[in-house]
Amino acid sequence: MTTGAGCGCPLLAAAAEDDERSLTLSDYEGATARWCPGCGDHGVLTAVERLLTEEQLRPEQTVFVSGIGCSSRFPHYLRTYGFHGIHGRALPVATGIRLHRPDLTVFVVMGDGDCTSIGAGHWLHALRYNVKMVALLLDNSIYGLTKNQTSPTTPQGHPSNTQPRGSWLPPLNPVQVALGMTNASFVAQTAEWMPAHLAATLRAAYRHDGFAFVRVLQRCPVYMPQNYKAAVQQPALVELLVHDDGVSASEIARTYTNRITHDPGDLDRARELANPSERIRLGVFYRDPTRPRYEITRQLPARDVSDRLALLNTELDKYAV
Amino acid sequence: MSTSVVELPGTRDAPPRSAPTNRRVAEHTVEIVSDSGEGAQKCGQIFGAVSAKMGNGVWTVEIIPAEIQPPARVPEGASGNRIRLGASAVTNWGDETNLVVAFNEQVLLARHRQGALADDAIVLIEDRWATDPDEEIVQAWESAMAELAGTHYRIIRVPMEAACLTLVDNPRKGKNMFVLGVLACIYGRDRERIKEQIAYAFRKKSESVYTTNVALMELGYAWAERELDFRIDVPVNPTTEAMVVMNGNEALALGAVAAGFELCAMYPITPATSVSHQLAEIFDRFGGVLHQAEDEIAAIGVAIGASYAGKVAFTVTSGPGLALKTEFIGLAVMTETPLVVVDVQRGGPSTGLPTKVEQSDLLAVLYGQPGDAPKVVLAPSTIEECFHVMVTARRIAETFRCVVIVLSDANLATGVQPFPRPALDERWMRAAFDQDPVPPDAKPYGWDPETGLSHRIIPGQPNGMFTLTGLEHDERSKVAYSSGVHARASAMRSRKLAVLQEMLLPPEVNGDPSGDLLIVGWGSTRGAIEEAVARARAEGARVSSTHLTVLSPLQPGVRELFSRFRRVCTVELNYSDDPAAPHITTQNRRLGQLAWLLRAATLVDVDCWTRIPGEPLRPADIHDAIRQQLAIVTGGDA
């Protein structure tokens, strides 16, 4: 079994014993993805399917929760349980799923509008609740599904249908925001055009005991074709944060030679590294598996019906006439 | 007749008076008002609980100022409790107050100006203000007494503070127990029960707090015994049936536990919050989680997530929170995720009147979602029903895979009333949680084409993997925009209400099954309406009433019931245009919310009598309305 270890959940013990299936990529394949050709979402889907296979996550014990947007179609393209809800509200739903069901592995897939705009309040509080789940921000810096409107992460000056003379304000930096939130326990950044780094980051996020927030930098070939184009072509514009406790991605060491050794336990340094810089920094900025987790703090032993009935009768005694 | 002011010596050595007169009455309404923070509410709660335990019918309501700490000695700061005692069951707060205890003359003025007090009310008032060193206070006292001079109140000055100072240093914290003792003497309350109730009320405080409070209560009792020349006897009628006494929010919370709920996700909002206070105290021990979310939207999102994952979840809110939850309610309807939403209504729109009662969310819950969003709406009409409605709501939500809205209101939330102790049933609590494999071809929305009912699949069930979506979808939960699928799926979601309606009983009639006038009510107004109808019937009027507790789908037989009366009129606590107001015609008059609904459903020319006083309706006012309605039926000669 792969998740919720030590939670004492009877479901886990039962499930682990009799399941000896060997799961392959095809066990996770859902409907054919209908994102535009060249969309970064395809690469993330591939990396996620790879993770599911590597970790042998049982499809029926795995739930993908999303909001609304291009990236939120994600659950439809997997053969796990999926919850394709409403715009910006994936995180509360995922929290509700996890609170009483530690046996389920929960992934959340959000776009930049979902996470950093309409659902920003939930995002901050989810970081603080630190309920165990992997939260992916598929950030292409634009609204694609509604056809080309500015998002909070759109680069300043970039024109869109709602800000045709260019985005008015500097873009929101999701990594900075996440690192600023009390009780954040895992903050990482990766890019869809670097499959090895993406895979390694997803693995680290999945194995983290807490709320693992991963911002995935993405291209939108239709509305943001120029975004990250330079970084894709020139690895020198990328800087990797490497550490034994973080992501090493040794297979890309030759291509990506700008490397900073960064201990993810160092929050102050993480915040420095999150500041805007010449190069795009990828890797695990921060990780602290000892942070309190809301669902563990609130985890209560299940009471059987006869116990509850007796307790309620005692409670009613207090109101007895 | 002028105000009779009885000057009473407040000293311990005064000689005992002659035997007091004992008035035996079928009912009496008493209220205790003070500045906020002086404990009038606690005094009233204890008095009400003890009265109920002794066998009186009781209905208690809170008098709540809008601010947490309003300035001292201002009319708008009046805070306290109003307790209607009866020799038999009391179903509503009644009309006017017969006896009021006021901690200062300003809060008394507030109640006087609101018309809360009977012409011949007995007024017990703290008298220290008459001789306060601050001249402004003395002037305020004198001007208040002048304002009251034209009334027929019997005003009795009570040296509350002077008496309390013989026992405690800070009388502000002790007067309420002194007053409790005074009332205990007047109404012949059992002091042992009072002590038990004091112990319960202060169970989180130290032993010395209990001892001091009991001593203050005894002091008040002794003072009244010595100084007051009257006693009031509302005969008690102890029942052998096991009873409990609580307010509607406590009943909702305990009902939720009895119904097997495992999660309540909420965000603080008046007047719903005390449901969560109750759960916060006890829910852990039942293995339940009270989740205070970051906002109203997250609260319902967490509840929907938990329900999707197979757990029994509800959210509780009031008007502004309901507005925020709108989109998620639509999602639950679309995805047929079982969900119970409790709305403890208050005055609106917008922030409105947070602490005041109103029944104005009916149309919002029915039609608040964009798109067609059929859902079930239940409205408890008594505190007892607040308990049992949670069991019903859960059962309907799970059986029909639908959203059930429970409409309570501020009157039920804070009203305290005894009712038969619920006989708990294990079946209410049992979980529907299923983790067995489903057949490989199982559909997440395998609608029965007749009923629209389908079997829910819960994450964790092997072979059941599907993606739930708020987009329109077919039986397999596949996104489908075609008009055929949308029409069929809409019909399936709607059909369930018709199936539920077939299982409901027709509304019961209070009074004769036919007549001149049928009054139709819903929610917390039941007691006041039925009392008014009883008064009118005692005068010979051919009036009956019915009270709808299921508002969507409407109970069957409503139209047929209406056809047996010459006139049908709703009585509601919400806004409608006064037919006599400028510009208002029969063409443009906006009606009470239930009236709209009933007219649409029955094509009967249903009239409405609605008020928004920010407090419960009084039977006397409804009685007047009945007379006016009957006059219309009988052509003005009634």
Same domain membership, residue B382 and residue B325: yes
In a domain, B238, yes or no: no
pLDDT tens column, B543-577: 999 999 999 999 999 999 999 999 999 999 999 99
Chain A residue whose CA is closest to B416: A319
> Per the domain annotation, does B638 fall within a domain?
no
- Quick one: B515 and B498 in the same domain? no
Task: State the Cα–Cα distance between residues B354 and A281, nearest whole angstrom.
Answer: 50
The β-bridge partners of B313 are: B263
Residues B379-437 pLDDT 10s: 999 999 999 999 999 999 999 999 999 999 999 998 888 999 999 999 999 987 899 99
**B179 domain-assigned:** yes
Per residue in B440-466, pLDDT (tens digit) is 999 999 999 999 999 999 999 999 999
> Final residue of a domain: which of B471, B503, B535?
B503
Residue B298: band (very low, low, confident or very high) from pLDDT cuts 50, 70, 90: very high
Single residue among B369, B397, B420 that ends a domain in this structure: B420
Q: Where are the domains of chain A?
A: 10-317
Same domain, B248 and B223: no
Q: Which of B458, B486, B503 is the last residue of a domain?
A: B503
Q: Is residue B259 domain-shared with residue B407, that is, in the same domain?
A: yes
Contact with chain B for residue A279, Cβ under 8 A = no
Domain ranges, residue B374: 244-420
Domain count, chain B: 4
Shared domain check, B496 and B575: no
Position B507 scores a pLDDT of 97
Cβ of residue B118 closer than 8 Å to a chain A Cβ: no
* Residue B56 and residue B185 in one domain: yes
ipTM over 0.90: yes
Q: What is the pLDDT of residues A45-87, one digit of tens each?
A: 999 999 999 999 999 999 999 999 999 999 999 999 999 999 9
pLDDT for residue B9: 42
B173 inside domain: yes
Spatial separation of the C-alpha atoms in residues A158 and B331, rounded to whole Å = 34
pLDDT digits (tens, 9 = 90+) for A152-188: 999 999 999 999 999 999 999 999 999 999 999 999 9
Closest by CA to B416, choosing from B79, B58, B96, is B58
Both B515 and B497 in a single domain? Answer: no
pLDDT at A19: 63
Q: Give the number of beta-carbon pairs within 8 Å between A and B.
A: 188
- pLDDT for the residue numbered B483: 86
> At residue A10, does pLDDT exceed 60?
no
Bridge partner residues of A186 (DSSP)? A212, A287
Backbone angles phi and psi of A255, in degrees to 5:
-75, -45
Q: Is residue B427 part of a domain?
A: no
Q: Which of residues 27-66 of B touch A (CB under 8 A)?
A: 52-53, 55
B425 within some domain: no
Which of B53, B291, B294 faces A321 most closely, judged by CB atoms?
B53
Q: What is the pLDDT of residue A30?
A: 94
pLDDT at A2 > cutoff 70: no
Domain match, B47 and B96 both: yes
Residue B249 distance to chain A (closest CA, Å) = 13
Q: Which two tokens stand for residue B298?
A: 């997250």
**pLDDT > 50? residue B214:** yes
User: Are residues B438 and B414 both part of a single domain?
Assistant: no
Q: For residue range A100-155, what is the model confidence (pLDDT) as tens digits?
A: 899 999 999 999 999 999 999 999 999 999 999 999 999 999 999 999 999 999 99
Buried b (16+ CB within 10 A) or exposed e, B276-296: bebbbebbebbbbbbbebbbb
CATH of the domain at B60: 3.40.920.10
CATH superfamily of A10-317: Thiamin diphosphate (ThDP)-binding fold, Pyr/PP domains (3.40.50.970)
- Are B463 and B555 part of one and the same domain? no
Percentage of residues in chain B with pLDDT exceeding 70? 97
Closest C-alpha to B550, from B379, B363, B364: B379
The answer to whether B237 faces chain A, any CB pair under 8 Å, is no
Backbone phi and psi for residue A103, each to the nearest 5 degrees, phi listed first: -75, -15
Of residues B246, B301, B469, nearest to A92 (C-beta): B301
Residue-level length of chain B: 638
Count CB atoms within 10 A of the CB of residue B74. Answer: 16
Q: Do B329 and B402 fall into the same domain?
A: yes
Residues B62 and B45 in one domain: yes
B636 confidence band (pLDDT: 50, 70, 90): low
Mean pLDDT of chain A: 93
Q: What is the pLDDT of residue A299?
A: 84
Tell me if the pTM is above 0.95. no
What residues have CB less than 8 Å from B265, skipping those under 6 apart? A96, B291, B293, B298, B299, B300, B301, B302, B303, B306, B313, B314, B315
pLDDT at B171: 78
- The phi and psi torsions of B83 (rounded to 5 degrees) equal -120, 120
Closest alpha carbon to A151 in A88, A77, A84:
A88
